Each structure stands twice: as structure tokens, then as C-alpha cells.
Amino acid sequence: AQTVTQSQPEMSVQEAETVTLSCTYDTSESNYYLFWYKQPPSRQMILVIRQEAYKQQNATENRFSVNFQKAAKSFSLKISDSQLGDTAMYFCAFMSNAGGTSYGKLTFGQGTILTVHP
């Protein structure tokens, strides 16, 4: 079974600054996906960024980028130029691409509450 660990229950950052959220995972598989989801107070889960494990290049989406270290099983999220609207709970998630009983299922970390201060 896979596990996902987010060791930072809460983080805060000043508007326009940069913040990095940490995530580590454990798996014996070699083919998988990793995701960062954002959950604002509205409860709506929003995909921030995804990374395919077979890709060495780190994914980027505008102000969001990841540092994917496959050997270390680490997947951190960097938010640049933080905005007030980035305030939310952020979840790191793992999905196996191996098929079988794990097909399509997401395993989530505990979450990190990010607060952006003006």
C-alpha cells in the first residue's frame, strides 16, 4: 500500500513571497502519478499540478512548480508570488498507474493549511 506524508500541518506566507510545501510518499511501484490539490473554504477540490513519475522534468503551471525527487520519494510544491486567493488546504496525492485494484484511486496526504497574509 502507498502512503503519503505531509509534515507541515500549517504554513503561512506574505503576499508576493514564495512558499514551499513538502510531501513525501512511499511506494514500491515505478509507474505512478503525483498531484497537488487545493481545497479552499468552499470545499471544492481543485487540481493545482500533476507529475508523471516517468518524466524527469519537473511540472510547472504558472506560479506553481514542483520539485520531484523520485529516488528520495519527495514531491514538494513551490508557490511563487503568493496571492491571497492561494489561501487553502493543500493536499499531496498519489495514484498508481499499475492497474488492478488500485486503478484510478487517489491516496492523499494529511494536508497543509496555507495562509497568505496581506
Q: Which residues bind another protein (CB under 8 A)?
A: 35, 42-45, 47, 50, 91, 95, 97, 101, 103-111
Of 80 and 110, nearer to another protein (C-beta) is: 110
Provide the residue type at 117 as one letter: H
Q: To the nearest whole angstrom, how small is the minimum distance from the Cβ of residue 4 to another protein?
A: 8
Q: To the nearest whole angstrom, how small is the minimum distance from the Cβ of residue 45 to another protein?
A: 4
Of 82 and 96, nearer to another protein (C-beta) is: 96
Of 42 and 57, nearer to another protein (C-beta) is: 42
Q: To the nearest whole angstrom, how small is the minimum distance from the Cβ of residue 66 to another protein?
A: 15
Q: To the nearest whole angstrom, how small is the minimum distance from the Cβ of residue 14 to another protein?
A: 25
Contacts of 18 (CB under 8 A, 6+ apart): 78, 79, 80, 81, 82
Of 8 and 107, nearer to another protein (C-beta) is: 107
Question: Kindly report the CA angle at 22 between 18 and 28, in degrees rounded to 5?
Answer: 145
Distances (CA, A) of 94 to 15, 40, 67, 88, 101: 29, 20, 15, 19, 14
Q: How many residues are present in the chain?
A: 118
